[in-house]
Amino acid sequence: MVNNRSVPTDYILPHVYYENVANALSWLTSVFGFVEDYHFDLSDGQLHGVMMHKGDAWVMLKSSSLKMTSPGKLGFQTQSLTVFVENVDEHYRNTKFSGARILEEISNTEYGERQYSAQDLEGHDQQPSPWILW
What pLDDT, on a 0 to 100 scale, did the predictor assign at position 126? 60
What pLDDT, on a 0 to 100 scale, did the predictor assign at position 106? 92
Residues 31-43 have pLDDT tens digits of 888 999 988 888 8
Please check whether residue 13 is in contact with residue 5, taking contact to mean a CB–CB distance below 8 angstroms: no
Q: Which residue has the higher pLDDT, 72 or 47?
A: 47
> With the C-alpha atoms ordered 81, 75, 105, 110, is the resulting torsion angle positive or negative?
negative
Residue 53 belongs to a domain: yes
> What CATH number is attached to the domain comprising 26?
3.10.180.10
What pLDDT, on a 0 to 100 scale, did the predictor assign at position 72? 67
> How many independent structural domains does the chain possess?
1
CA distance 91 to 75: 27
Q: What is the DSSP letter of 122?
A: T
Q: What is the CA 46 to chain-centroid distance, rounded? A: 20
From residue 79, give the alpha-carbon distance in Å to each of 16, 38, 90.
9, 23, 25
Q: Which residues of 73-109 are buried (b: 16+ CB within 10 A; e: fewer)?
A: eeeeeeeebbbbbeebeebbebbbeeebeeeeebeee
| Angle between the N-to-C axes of helices 21-32 and 88-97, in degrees from 0 to 180, rounded to the nearest 10 | 130
What pLDDT, on a 0 to 100 scale, did the predictor assign at position 48? 85
Give the range of the structural domain holding residue 99, as residue numbers without chain letter: 15-73+80-129
Residue 7 belongs to a domain: no
Residue 2 belongs to a domain: no
Residue 3 belongs to a domain: no
